[in-house]
Amino acid sequence: SSASTGGTEESSPSSSPASATSLTMAAPKYGTLVPNRIFVGGISASTSEAELAELFSQYGTVKATKIIADRAGVSKGYGFVTFETEEEAKRLQQEPECIVLRERKLNIAPAIKKQPFNRS
């Protein structure tokens, strides 16, 4: 009778991982979508995070801006703007008008948070 009880125990946990894997399938392959953040490309090297915040505050409540730089502190020409709500970020991604800053058209896209590599 011990073998049969072992069999029933095995069948119950297998149902829960199946539902968990279906959740991860919806997520981007190499990271997590951050719903209230947008990726901004095409930023000129001289643009500051404050300028980005000022520009995007026309479209919603900006919580944070970040321009990505290399180790020497040189702008890589892209960054992220985090809004108060997911709706504000989504609305901006659907905005048909080009957003121009310092005569450069900005490239707006969903923000994907890269998964950190496990070095352990």
Angle at 25 between CA 23 and CA 31, to 5 degrees: 100
Per-residue pLDDT of the chain (120 residues; tens, 9 = 90+): 555 544 444 444 444 444 444 444 455 566 788 999 999 999 999 999 999 999 999 999 999 999 999 999 999 999 999 999 999 999 998 877 889 999 999 999 999 887 766 665
- pLDDT attached to residue 31: 79
Q: Which CATH class is domain 33-112?
A: alpha beta
Domain boundaries, the chain: 33-112
Q: Is the pTM of this model over 0.75?
A: no
Q: Using CA atoms, how far apart are residues 62 and 36, in angstroms rounded to an integer?
A: 10
